[in-house]
Amino acid sequence: MNADILRKRLEEGETLLWYGVPMTGGGKENKAPEPAVKSIYGAVLKATVIPEVLATAGAIALFGRKALIVIPFWVVTSLLMGLYLRPEEWVYGISDKRVFVGTERSGMEIYSLSDIENTEVSVGTNGLGCVKFTAKGNACGFYGLKEPQKVYEILTGAMPKDKFLE
């Protein structure tokens, strides 16, 4: 399934060399970051839940049964909670021309291999690791990898050879 997500984005004549998803476990440094959209839902939830609980408690104390007017607020909060807790699976890919990092719902960042700089690999004590790089000034990476060294070799092998002469 994940390969299909990436294959839809390939240009004509482009070949997918590797694709993967992060594994669970490992240290904090090898964990994939939270998608930006999910962070926004979390921030809204944190800002609204406590005032909503206090307002509901106050409304019940003051108005009794008429306090049912707060139900629409709790419906909206429940929808936000559902969006926040819904899992988003990261998808990574390397083709012979580009690199793909992202989630299907939040969006996929696609970088040309010539934009990739400062590649480095790190492996945790449990064997999981990550391949970090910079692309167009953005810190990126493939996190939670089972075989980070293999992915690093595929990435650096696909990169233009003139990148290593700089």
Residue appearing with tokens 């108005």: 63
Q: Residue 24's pLDDT is what? A: 65
* pLDDT tens track for 95-112: 999 999 988 777 888 999
- pTM, 2 dp: 0.68
Q: What is the pLDDT of residue 89?
A: 78
Ranges of the chain whose pLDDT falls below 50: 166
Q: Give the architecture-level CATH label for domain 2-33+90-164.
A: Roll (2.30)
Q: So where are the chain's domains?
A: 2-33+90-164, 37-85
